[in-house]
Structure 1
Amino acid sequence: MNDLRRYCQLAIKLARVVKLDGDEGYVAKIPGFRGLLATGENKREVLKELAGALEAWVLLALRRGMGLPKLKLPEEVTA
């Protein structure tokens, strides 16, 4: 598995998913990824949308020489 794919898989695990009011669906974002946001009708859809948006975000950040956010995984936070 390549490093970027692994990075994206780990980043998705940090996603924060919030149910919007009424039947507005869900919104998801990943802390540290400025401007990255996805919406969907259900959790599965919003996470799928977020994964696609994350991949595009990462590629654009690398092309622009911005680097990537350091991922703080739960075990790192509690250790």
Structure 2
Amino acid sequence: MIGEYLQSALRKAHYELEEGTFYAEIPGFEGVIAYGDTLEACREQLLDVLEGWLIVGIRHGHKLPIVEGIDLNPALEVV
């Protein structure tokens, strides 16, 4: 499920070419940005950044975006 989440998030990415360097970000994923000399290098770095961002978010209990119906947030316990 995590792999599907990552791929779904990457499909939302926006890429730009700025002064000979590719730049990418994913709307709704604050701080997930990447740069690269090629589009593929930028995409690979974006995936690395996204994976790290997701690990930190899960570890610290941050509210994670729901992507294409995939919700990695823990279910709330009903008491």
**TM class by shorter-chain length?**
0.7 to 0.9
TM-score between both structures, scaled by the size of structure 1: 0.81
Count of residues paired in the alignment: 69
Residues 1:28 and 2:29 are matched in the alignment: no
Structure 2 alignment gaps of length 5 or more: 70-79
SS of residue matched to 1:71 = coil
Residues 1:44 and 2:40 are matched in the alignment: yes
Residues 1:18 and 2:12 are matched in the alignment: no
Q: Percent sequence identity over matched residues?
A: 29
The residue aligned with 1:9 is 7
- RMSD (CA atoms): 1.4
Residues 10-32 of structure 1, C-alpha deviations (whole Å, 9 max, x = no match): 100111001002x2x11101000
**Structure number with larger C-alpha Rg:** 2
Larger helix fraction of residues: 1
